[in-house]
């Protein structure tokens, strides 16, 4: 794929390969910064192993799973399954970014480091769910097999800039989803575990956000168009799992992740930090993309306001019934 920018002062065409090379130094700088501030942690230290016992099957003394065995709330269970199955697709995610960003140099080092850190998330969440018996283990495994067998293909694999823009927002979205799941879980142990995962996701977001900022300096028009496209068409990486829309709707009502959260806590912070709406000196295509981004954000805010009103009305009805 070849893309061009009117702000380079020449007729040189940008390819993904040239963009990757041009940003290599920034990737190395951000990787070094990341390695200085990140802290390794042990997944097994966050799992309540003393709550665990054998399941039936191989062990004759195994105790069958029962939904009453866990203190986790219903919305917490739904969100935990969605979050875990999203993390489970790490092999596909690694394939996508390794193919796009490469396996050599600073890019390759980051790809492998990111994959290793993300691997902890699925490990600790599954161990927690099994030890605490929060969900049916048989159904969870069947769900995992079905979801992973379908694989994952990024909506933005056609463009390096689109991919960087996407992960800058998606890593923050994942952080928020994990953090709110912990808050809504009803279990302090779960909340602590997900808070630790959220710290990783935040550092990953910072890496990609800073890289996106560097891309704006390098190719502002192209980057603005990529951000507009990603924001307008944003989907969470777990969108392909069976029943995702139903579970996402329940998570929205339960306050884990909804339009208001998406607008206020995911899109707006990145846009505001990079001062995307204040960037000037853009060419016609860049200005159009910036304007369309602003219009979309205003529309999303209006939609979020309507959702908030419906949610408040629903809460009032439920309160009236209880009264």
Extract the annotated binding site for Fe cation: 87, 118, 121, 171, 201, 204
3-state secondary structure of 3: strand
Angle between helices 188-218 and 220-232 (to 10 degrees): 140
Among residues 116, 138, 124, 119, the alpha carbon closest in space to that of 55 is found at: 138
Residues flagged as binding site = 87, 118, 121, 171, 201, 204
| CA distance linking residue 87 with residue 17, whole number of Å | 28
Residue pair 40/29 in contact by the 8 Å Cβ criterion? no
Residues 6+ apart with CB under 8 A from 318: none
DSSP H helices, 185-283, are 188-218, 220-232, 244-253, 259-261, 268-273
Among residues 2, 6, 26, the alpha carbon closest in space to that of 282 is found at: 6
Among residues 234, 229, 215, 208, the alpha carbon closest in space to that of 290 is found at: 229
């Amino acid at each position: 794929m070849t893309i061009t920018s009117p702000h380079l002062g020449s007729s040189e065409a940008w390819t993904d390969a040239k963009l990757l090379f041009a940003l290599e130094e920034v990737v190395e700088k951000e990787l070094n910064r990341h390695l200085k501030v990140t802290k390794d942690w042990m997944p097994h230290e966050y799992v309540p192993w003393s709550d665990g016992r054998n399941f039936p099957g191989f062990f004759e003394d195994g105790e069958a799973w029962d939904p009453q065995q866990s203190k986790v709330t219903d919305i917490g269970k739904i969100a935990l399954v969605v979050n875990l199955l999203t993390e489970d697709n790490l092999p596909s995610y690694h394939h996508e970014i390794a193919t796009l960003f490469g396996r050599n140099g600073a890019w390759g080092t980051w790809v492998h480091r990111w994959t290793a850190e993300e691997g902890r998330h699925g490990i600790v969440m599954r161990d927690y769910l099994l030890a605490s018996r929060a969900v049916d283990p048989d159904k969870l495994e069947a769900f995992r097999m079905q979801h992973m067998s379908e694989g994952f293909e990024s909506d933005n694999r056609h463009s390096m800039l689109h991919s960087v823009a996407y992960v800058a927002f998606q890593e923050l979205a994942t952080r928020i989803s994990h953090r709110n799941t912990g808050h809504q879980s009803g279990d302090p142990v779960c909340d602590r575990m997900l808070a630790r995962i959220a710290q990783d996701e935040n550092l990953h977001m910072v890496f990609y956000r800073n890289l996106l900022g560097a891309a704006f300096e390098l190719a502002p028009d192209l980057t603005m168009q990529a951000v507009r496209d990603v924001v307008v068409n944003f989907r969470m990486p777990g969108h392909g799992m069976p029943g995702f829309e139903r579970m996402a709707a329940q998570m929205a009502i339960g306050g884990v992740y909804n339009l208001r959260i998406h607008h206020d806590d995911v899109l707006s912070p990145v846009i505001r930090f990079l001062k995307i709406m204040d960037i000037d000196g853009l060419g016609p295509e860049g200005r159009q993309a910036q304007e369309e981004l602003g219009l979309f954000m205003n529309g999303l805010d209006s939609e979020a306001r309507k959702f908030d009103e419906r949610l408040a009305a629903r809460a009032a009805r439920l309160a009236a019934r209880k009264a």
